[in-house]
Amino acid sequence: MGKGSVMIIGVGGVGKVTAQKCHQVPEIFSKIVLANRTVAKCETIKELIGSPSIITEQVDANNTSEVIDLIKKHEPEIIINTAMPYQNLTIMDACLETGVHYLDTANYEGPDLLTFSYSWQWDYHKRFKEKGIMALLGCGFDPGVTNIFIAYMKKHMFDRMDNVDIMDCNGGSHGHPFATNFNTEINIREITQKGKYWGDGKWIETDSLALSKIFDFPQVGARKIYLMFHEEMESLVKYFPEVKSMRFWMTFSEEYLTHLRVLENIGLTNIKPVKYEGVDIVPLQFLDHILPAPANLGERTKGKTCIGCLIDGEKDGKPRKSFLYNVCNHEEAFKEVGSQAISYTAGVPPMIGAKLMMEGKWMEDGVFCCEQLDPDPFMDDLNKHGLPWQAIDGDWPILDAEQNTAAAVS
């Protein structure tokens, strides 16, 4: 296939959006291969798009040799990995073997470990550089766009950044008693871990969802947000060492948290296998199968998301505080691509990142996070491809200070 061809591995809710957005830019993505463990999902997307430029394939992304064989068969210019983060390393190994560029939307985590980190993938930098290919890590919305927002704010709005708060609000409703807005297994693993934030030159750990506050989100309104550890902070504190404090916050309804506490208490969020009639079953994976699939929430979901970065620091010798954000409408996203806004906000950025790589605007040998690259062309493309952004100055929209709901531990 060669120049202008892309292979998307993993076609859940995010991959479905990424495929459609790539198809909207045929001058860049002339051929698109969709690969998934269940090929029927690829066929459904191909039928939805209705284009002869779409090719579908079956692949087990846990098997590096299978990925290598598929790459050799189609010779794509770049792999967009929207599969599970467990599979990042096997796909990166395949890209190294075949000399193909790589992009993903979330950092690696081991299926048997309740942890996630860029460290495993950063270890690939020398090998990718020597091979003359690029890997772009975490090019979703958060991580991804949030990293780019901060890089843009540093470039254009701040001479010095002191305090950074990344805030993710889903103000929508799908009508189910309990459902996750993206992959159930990854979502619950992430939320139930210890919280962690950067302050005073070190990581400070808290109990899960221990800190909360009220934030008035543009076009959404006041919502309670909870402190979590999120992967983009790991790279952001590395590449912006001037920052004194950095925190990540996400909204959850009381109904969601009540259900989550019950599921935790009865053991359904555990990742260690249990025996059931002689068969090993991972409770969290079982839960993933019985809850509503995030990819099927689009038609039911109403409302908006608002995700942005609030920074205070200094510009031209004067204090400055700014909030840069995107608002995405669930119903408008569904009209365009048949998915809710969570999948939309995570599925558009990998298309833009791959586009910039293929155009040569974002092309370096080695392994990179989004904030290491020039934010301007990405910010321009966000406005062109469905995720427009805005910035406001001043103390608004904070409503109150943090509340301790559990003990914090250094």
User: In CATH, what number is assigned to the domain containing residue 255?
Assistant: 3.30.360.10
Tell me the backbone φ, ψ of residue 180, rounded to 5 degrees: -95, 150
**Domain hosting residue 350, numbered range:** 5-140+337-388
Q: Looking at residue 72, what is its pLDDT? A: 98
Residue type, 347: G
Contact 305, 332 (CB under 8 A): no
On whether both 246 and 262 belong to a single domain, the answer is: yes
353-405 pLDDT per residue, tens: 999 999 999 999 999 999 999 999 999 999 999 999 999 998 765 555 555 54
Can you give the pTM of this predicted structure? 0.90
Q: Could you please report the per-residue DSSP string of 185-234?
A: HHHHHHHHSPEEEEETTEEEEESTT-EEEEEEETTTEEEEEEEE--THHH
On whether both 50 and 95 belong to a single domain, the answer is: yes
On whether both 118 and 248 belong to a single domain, the answer is: no
On whether both 383 and 399 belong to a single domain, the answer is: no
On whether both 261 and 351 belong to a single domain, the answer is: no
Taking the CA atoms of 185, 165, 197 and 148 in sequence, report the sign of the dihedral they define: positive
Instruction: Provide the domain count of the chain.
Output: 2
CATH number, domain containing residue 375: 3.40.50.720
Query: Among candidates 64, 10, 13, which has minimal Cα distance to 36?
Result: 10
Tokens in use for 306?
A: 């608002």
HSE, side-chain direction, 13 A CA sphere, residue 26: 5
Q: Which residues in the chain land under pLDDT 70?
A: 1-2, 111-114, 172, 174-184, 186, 294-300, 396-410
2-18 pLDDT per residue, tens: 578 999 999 999 999 99
Contact 119, 45 (CB under 8 A): no
Q: List for the chain the helix, strand, coil content (%; round to 5).
A: 35, 30, 35
* CA atoms of 173 and 49, how far apart (whole Å): 27
On whether both 237 and 312 belong to a single domain, the answer is: yes
On whether both 287 and 381 belong to a single domain, the answer is: no
On whether both 307 and 177 belong to a single domain, the answer is: yes
On whether both 395 and 384 belong to a single domain, the answer is: no
On whether both 256 and 173 belong to a single domain, the answer is: yes
Query: Among candidates 6, 4, 2, 26, which has minimal Cα distance to 15?
Result: 6
On whether both 206 and 317 belong to a single domain, the answer is: yes
On whether both 160 and 174 belong to a single domain, the answer is: yes
For residue 339, CA distances in Å to 182, 185, 292, 330, 343 come to: 11, 19, 14, 8, 6
